[in-house]
């Protein structure tokens, strides 16, 4: 009895301590969140919108408990907030200009192009844009080149070196491990699987990447040239000299920047532009200060819905596209009589072919009731194009990466690895193919033949969806498919895209299509607050909570591998454009 009471007391004590620790952790989280919540500053007359372009640019951001509690060395910037703040600053009489501060800035060129277009539109108001940095990345300079004045720190640097595309190949490592990646695919240019089977780019892949990077680079050069009045040939010559290592005065002589200044000197110039004394404080506002909420501020009972489809499709990535959730949203919008048209914002390299087909079907049903427009972000390739192809109209930036109409399947053969580590495997089966697919032996000829037929059928469906959606002959789409990636500019020339532009232009097109004005814009999925994310934690399971706080990225990688679909429509994996 004494022993029983001892264990019971120990258990109760443990429960009390666990509850106490849990409450303490909860209060710590709440305190961290509340202390991090910045109240919106009142916009005073003679203010400047400060765009601090430092961190990673995403289509949308929402409150992240992990970042709030533990901090984040890589801050996240929301493209949606930046675009809204620029638009609101244009019409706000209190805002006199924009101060563009460029730091360590990571973003796709299509997203940068979209912000750049918004800044060009802002300048039509007669207000100024001034850019400053101690280190312009190439993307940061491309964005800043739209400014009326561009300044560089006297000891700073400016990167202008052109665009490259690199890929990593694992064939040699896999061979040493005794792993064979069995690949079945359709598409001469479908290069995702080359990382497993090659030690360098295939000729077809090299060709498509040369065309893609040249198209993107030419678009960027043309815009910089127009803004800075520097011939394209001179910009290319400067890029060949790797401007980051050149003396700062050369940037001035070439006209890349207007002068070399320290930050206090730029502040003094801003004061002069505002009619202030050099020692007066400038009222700087952040993008969040100009945004009231997630909804567009235009009035009207009729609505244009904007649905974000961002990330890989059904590949186990928690930040990707869940086809079931996206389909549910589409079905709700189809039945909502207040929603007159829909804009699907696609920023996806693709993923599951099955998931892509289900989303295609949902869009087909939705389009029968109301027009569906697609706005492409940095990527809308492979499965990302699959879910876009049947839209009423497709809009992309010139530097968007799209196309990649092709399908593949990869089945690892671990027989060599098991031999190396001394693992044996045996099987009992009732039928010839009961153990298929298996990673414990190579595929037989008949199994490979069946898999190839399966992939071929998926590819045929993919091409047909594109042909029907784009009102093009099947053979015409087949000729430009083959897994080949295209820039948005090239895609428009060959008929895969209707118009070049950004999300705002697409929203206006969608509203014009149904003759609604005024109208309200609603965004889906609704953003979660920090409190929503906090309340979701218990439902995740303790293993996922721990992973989220300690091994967040690593956990997502492992989770993705366990959930990836067998048949994939995804663009070249690990393709780095910089």
Residue-wise pLDDT for 479-521, tens only, equals 999 999 999 999 999 999 999 999 999 999 999 999 998 999 9
572 has a pLDDT exceeding 90: no
Selection from 309, 389, 318 nearest residue 349 by Cα:
309
Q: Tens digit of pLDDT for each residue in 229-244?
A: 999 999 999 999 999 9
Selection from 184, 197, 188, 273 nearest residue 458 by Cα:
184
Q: Which of 300-304, 314-318, 525-529 has the highest mean pLDDT?
A: 300-304
Average pLDDT, the chain: 86
Rounded to two decimals, what is the model's pTM? Answer: 0.85
Which residue has better confidence, 552 or 461?
Answer: 461
C-alpha span between 288 and 43 (Å, rounded): 11
Catalytic annotation on 429?
no
pLDDT-derived band at 76 (thresholds 50, 70, 90) equals: confident
Percent of the chain's residues with pLDDT above 90: 71
pLDDT-derived band at 537 (thresholds 50, 70, 90) equals: low
Helices 109-123, 203-228: inter-axial angle, 10-degree rounding: 20
Q: Chain centroid to CA 195: how far?
A: 22
Which residue among the candidates 84, 90, 127, 190 is catalytic per the annotation?
190
Beta bridge partners of 376: 346
Percent of the chain's residues with pLDDT above 70: 80
Catalytic annotation on 369?
no
pLDDT-derived band at 42 (thresholds 50, 70, 90) equals: confident
Q: Kindly report the backbone phi and psi dihedral angles of residue 84, in degrees, each rounded to the nearest multiple of 5, phi listed first.
A: -65, -40
Which pLDDT value is given to residue 36? 47
Which pLDDT value is given to residue 136? 96
Which pLDDT value is given to residue 568? 67
* Cβ-contact 66, 548 below 8 angstroms: yes
Averaged pLDDT, 257-273:
96
Which pLDDT value is given to residue 147? 98
Which residue among the candidates 87, 137, 382, 487 is catalytic per the annotation?
382
* Cβ-contact 495, 472 below 8 angstroms: yes
Which residue has better confidence, 3 or 101?
Answer: 101
Strand order in the sheet with 180-186: 180-186, 407-413, 567-570, 350-352
Which pLDDT value is given to residue 291? 84
pLDDT-derived band at 112 (thresholds 50, 70, 90) equals: very high
Give the CA angle between residues 329, 334, 340 to the nearest 5°.
Answer: 110
Which pLDDT value is given to residue 27? 52
pLDDT-derived band at 246 (thresholds 50, 70, 90) equals: very high
Which pLDDT value is given to residue 67? 54
Which pLDDT value is given to residue 139? 96
Which pLDDT value is given to residue 553? 45
C-alpha span between 158 and 200 (Å, rounded): 31
Selection from 42, 49, 41 nearest residue 115 by Cα:
49
261 has a pLDDT exceeding 60: yes
Does 303-410+470-571 carry CATH code 3.70.10.10? Answer: no
Which pLDDT value is given to residue 104? 86
Selection from 229, 384, 302, 289 nearest residue 92 by Cα:
289
169 has a pLDDT exceeding 80: yes
Which residue has better confidence, 528 or 141?
Answer: 141
C-alpha span between 443 and 461 (Å, rounded): 25
Q: Tens digit of pLDDT for each residue in 344-373?
A: 999 999 999 999 999 999 999 999 999 999
C-alpha span between 8 and 414 (Å, rounded): 50
Q: Considering the domain 47-161+242-290 in this protein, what is its CATH number?
A: 3.90.226.10
Which pLDDT value is given to residue 405? 95
Q: Which of 203-207, 321-325, 425-429, 565-569 has the lowest mean pLDDT?
A: 565-569
Which residue has better confidence, 86 or 74?
Answer: 86
DSSP string, 191-259: -TTHHHH-SS--HHHHHHHHHHHHHHHHHHHHHHHHHHT--HHHHHHHHHT-GGGS-HHHHHHHTSSSE
Read off the tokens for 531: 């409190």
C-alpha span between 275 and 159 (Å, rounded): 33
14 has a pLDDT exceeding 90: no
Which pLDDT value is given to residue 457? 94
Which pLDDT value is given to residue 61? 84
Read off the tokens for 97: 């200009």
* Cβ-contact 294, 527 below 8 angstroms: yes
Q: Count of CB atoms within 10 A of residue 167's CB?
A: 18
Running DSSP on this structure, what letter comes out for residue 41?
Answer: P
Q: What share of the chain is helix, strand, coil (3-state, %, to 5)?
A: 45, 20, 30
Which pLDDT value is given to residue 315? 73
Domain boundaries, the chain: 47-161+242-290, 303-410+470-571
pLDDT-derived band at 522 (thresholds 50, 70, 90) equals: very high
Q: Count of CB atoms within 10 A of residue 5's CB?
A: 9
């Amino acid at each position: 009895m004494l022993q029983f009471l001892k264990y019971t007391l120990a258990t109760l004590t443990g429960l009390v301590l666990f509850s106490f620790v849990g409450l303490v952790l909860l209060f710590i989280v709440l305190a961290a969140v509340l202390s991090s919540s910045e109240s919106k500053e009142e916009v005073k007359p003679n203010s400047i919108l400060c765009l601090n372009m430092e961190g990673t640019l995403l289509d949308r951001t929402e409150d992240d408990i992990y970042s709030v509690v533990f901090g984040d060395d890589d801050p996240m910037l929301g493209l949606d907030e930046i675009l809204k703040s620029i638009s609101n600053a244009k019409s706000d009489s209190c805002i006199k200009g924009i101060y563009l501060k460029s730091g360590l800035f990571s973003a796709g060129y299509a997203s940068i192009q979209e912000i750049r277009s918004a800044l060009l539109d802002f300048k039509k108001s007669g207000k100024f844009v001034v850019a400053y940095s101690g280190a312009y990345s190439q993307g940061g300079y491309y964005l800043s080149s739209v400014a009326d004045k561009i300044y560089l720190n006297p000891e700073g640097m400016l990167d202008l070196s052109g665009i490259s595309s690199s890929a990593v190949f694992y064939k040699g490592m896999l061979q040493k491990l005794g792993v064979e990646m069995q690949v079945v695919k359709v598409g001469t240019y479908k290069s995702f699987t080359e990382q497993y089977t090659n030690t360098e780019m295939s000729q077809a892949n090299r060709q498509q990447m040369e065309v893609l990077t040249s198209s993107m680079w030419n678009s960027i050069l043309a815009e910089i040239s127009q803004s800075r009045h520097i011939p394209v040939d001179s910009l290319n010559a400067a890029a060949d000299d790797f401007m980051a290592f050149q003396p700062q005065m050369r940037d001035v002589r070439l006209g890349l920047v207007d002068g070399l200044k320290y930050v206090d000197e730029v502040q003094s110039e801003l004061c002069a532009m505002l009619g202030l004394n050099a020692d007066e404080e400038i009222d700087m506002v952040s993008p969040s200060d100009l945004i009231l909420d997630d909804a567009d501020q235009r009035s009207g009972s009729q609505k244009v819905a904007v649905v974000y489809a961002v990330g890989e499709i059904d590949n186990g990535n928690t930040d990707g596209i869940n086809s079931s959730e996206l389909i549910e949203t589409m079905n709700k919008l189809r039945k909502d009589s207040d929603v007159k048209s829909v804009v699907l914002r696609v920023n996806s390299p693709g993923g599951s072919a099955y998931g892509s087909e289900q989303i295609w079907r949902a869009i087909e049903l939705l389009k029968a009731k109301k027009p569906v427009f697609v706005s492409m972000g940095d990527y809308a390739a492979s499965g990302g194009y699959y879910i876009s192809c049947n839209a009423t109209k497709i809009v992309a930036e010139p530097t968007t990466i799209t196309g990649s109409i092709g399908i593949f399947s990869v089945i690892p053969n671990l027989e060599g690895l098991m031999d190396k580590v001394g693992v044996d495997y045996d099987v009992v089966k009732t039928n010839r193919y009961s153990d298929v697919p298996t990673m414990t032996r190579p595929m037989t000829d008949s199994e490979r033949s069946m898999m190839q037929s399966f992939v071929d059928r998926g590819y045929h469906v993919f091409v047909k969806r594109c042909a029907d959606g784009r009102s093009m002959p099947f053979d015409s789409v087949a000729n430009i498919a083959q897994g080949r990636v295209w820039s948005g500019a090239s895609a428009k020339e060959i008929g895969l895209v209707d118009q070049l532009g950004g999300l705002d232009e697409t929203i206006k097109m969608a509203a014009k299509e149904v003759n609604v004005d005024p109208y309200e814009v609603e965004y889906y999925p609704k953003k979660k607050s920090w409190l929503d994310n906090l309340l979701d934690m218990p439902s995740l399971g303790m293993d996922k909570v721990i992973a989220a706080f300690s091994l967040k990225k690593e956990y997502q990688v492992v989770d993705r591998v366990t959930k990836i679909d067998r048949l994939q429509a995804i663009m070249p994996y690990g393709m780095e454009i910089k």
